[in-house]
Homo-oligomer: A and B are copies of this chain.
Amino acid sequence: MAKPTPLSGFPELLPAARAVEREVIASLSRTFELHGFANIETRVVEPLDRLAKGGEIDKEIYVLRRLQAGDGDSDSGLGLHFDLTVPFARYVLEHAGHLEFPFRRFQIQPAWRGERPQEGRYRQFTQADVDVVGRDELPFHHDVEVMRVMVDALDALPIPPVSFQFNNRKLIQGFYRGLGLPDVTTAIRTIDKLDKLPADRVAELLVSDAGATPEQAQRCLELATIRVADTSFVEQVRTLGVEDELLDEGLTELAAVVEGCAAGGHRHVTVEANLRIARGLDYYTGTVVEIFMEGYERLKSVGGGGRYDALASDGRTTYPGVGVSFGVSRSLIPLLADGVLSGSRPVPSCVLVAVADEESRSTSTAVADALRARGIPCEVAPNAQKFGKQIRTAERRGIPFVWFPDQGEVKDIRSGDQVAADPATWSPPEQDLRPQVISNEETTP
């Protein structure tokens, strides 16, 4: 069979890069678990009627059929999930009787969209989602909790600085209502165009499409330009002179989220109130967030989420939720491609145990077993070449140490230092034990 060619939109990582991805996923999982979030995985397929809702996404859904399916094929009507929210909502409904609410879960899995591939956009991509979902009710403090978890999680990653930009739907809606705008929904959608159109043009559209007066349009723009890294936005909004109960609620909530997420001191995450963030999806009802990565603004957001008062409902019970998603593939694959991140070596092995001749392979294997029993990853040389060649084998694989059983010595092949050593007691320096993530920006702790 001929040499295969890559499939556009289905990126694959070489072992050293995959080691970076695994470490990122392990780090995210550690933080989520420290905050008491349980991991789940859902099956990758959902019934089409749960996936296809008549929106833009529909044409990107991958549908399954069996290669030689008969008419009564029970698999027809299944598609691959395109995010982790739809399957999570279904999981909550299906398993509600076996879950404790509020249910706190994280989920790190691939999803699929048949869209045009480009940097940061892939047909198969891994997402990391963290959500809290309640039954019938979910106190607001969970908004602060879940956003704070993602702030902590991304702060622990070896990626460039990240900015969380928060807003609140109640704040926008209350402001527009208090301002007396006739069509609040259209106004929100129009303001959302500020990243594509100049402010003047957006003001015109607010007048022509949302029925605003020029004065109202001006106030909408003033609101949308407010962007601060603390709670001073409350005062700034107040000076715009709009009074509304929902606005008050939104201001209080947004202040609590910004305060809660900024607390504790983070290494490279910044937290802002940005009153222009609306997020396109209609189901958000309170807190909304978009996450941006420094130097990678061209990817648009690398994550986002918010509060939805009806994540799921089975007609009798409604499950409100709040969650946030981080695009693992969207952010990592460009970072790996640009060399901003790399893995220190493509193999887990810290030691290559040399083989003097094939007859003594079992001696080398015994040394390897002794090292493994003490948690030191190692491999035995594939053949009994001259030691110089075996050292070069280790070099090519990035393995830092070569062990010579016949001499009872171990060599650090970077420095050339060779010392007597006992496999029952020798240990490598901690940083050599496992492959490391190398960050080529000054963003690593």
Contacts and interface: CB of A to CB of B under 8 A. Distances in A.
Contact of A313 (B1, B6, B379): B1
A437 interface: no
B380 A349 contact: no
Interface residues of A, number: 94
Contact of A65 (B10, B45, B63, B393): B63
Nearest to A16: B38
A44 B377 contact: no
A65 B60 CA distance: 10
A95 to B, nearest CB: 6
Contacts of A64: 62-64, 80
A98 interface: yes
Given A58-B68, A65-B65, A141-B361, A36 B378 contact: yes
Contact of A104 (B22, B59, B78, B347): B347
Given A100-B397, A383-B139, A3 B33 contact: no
Contacts of A3: 93-94, 314
Contacts of A39: 15, 18-19, 22
A41 B333 CA distance: 14
Given A7-B43, A10-B45, A94-B3, A35 B315 contact: no
B63 A38 contact: no
Interface in A252-293: 264
Nearest to A371: B34
B38 A18 contact: yes
Nearest to A15: B38
Contacts of A41: 12-13, 18
B91 A67 contact: no
Among A34, A44, A139, A314, the one with the most B-chain Cβ atoms within 10 Å of its Cβ is A34
Contacts of A123: 75
A334 interface: no
B66 A110 contact: no
Contacts of A79: 67
A124 B40 contact: no
Given A7-B45, A124-B45, A369-B264, A2 B36 contact: no
17 contacts: A2-B315, A3-B93, A4-B93, A6-B94, A15-B38, A15-B99, A15-B105, A18-B39, A37-B348, A60-B66, A63-B67, A64-B80, A69-B114, A100-B346, A100-B347, A102-B382, A104-B347
Interface of A: 1-8, 10-15, 18-19, 22, 33-45, 47-48, 50, 52, 58-69, 74-75, 78-80, 90-91, 93-95, 98-100, 102, 104-105, 110, 114, 123-124, 139, 141-142, 145, 264, 312-315, 346-349, 358, 361, 369, 372, 375-380, 382-383, 393, 396-397
Given A12-B91, A69-B114, 6 more contacts: A36-B377, A43-B124, A58-B67, A60-B67, A64-B64, A145-B380
